[in-house]
Amino acid sequence: MEERTIDQYFETVQDPRHHNALHKLIDIIVMAICAVVSGADTYEQ
């Protein structure tokens, strides 16, 4: 089984932001994954 990185796993996700993309979508996805794994339940956490 070939190992895949997070970038490779989410590479097909389309970024709906057009004019206000200050950060890469993959960076936001990784932060969200880390937050959930750490127990965050809300956006503020």
Residue 13's closest CA among 2, 29, 37?
A: 29
Q: Kindly state the DSSP code that residue 30 receives in the 8-state scheme.
A: H
pLDDT digits (tens, 9 = 90+) for 1-45: 789 899 999 999 999 888 878 999 999 999 999 999 999 998 888
Write down the domain spans for the chain.
Answer: 1-12+21-39
- pLDDT (0 to 100) of residue 32: 92
Residue with tokens 């127990």: 39
23 class by beta-carbon count within 10 Å (0-12 exposed, 13-18 middle, 19+ buried): exposed
- pLDDT (0 to 100) of residue 29: 93
44 class by beta-carbon count within 10 Å (0-12 exposed, 13-18 middle, 19+ buried): exposed
Q: pTM to 2 decimals?
A: 0.75
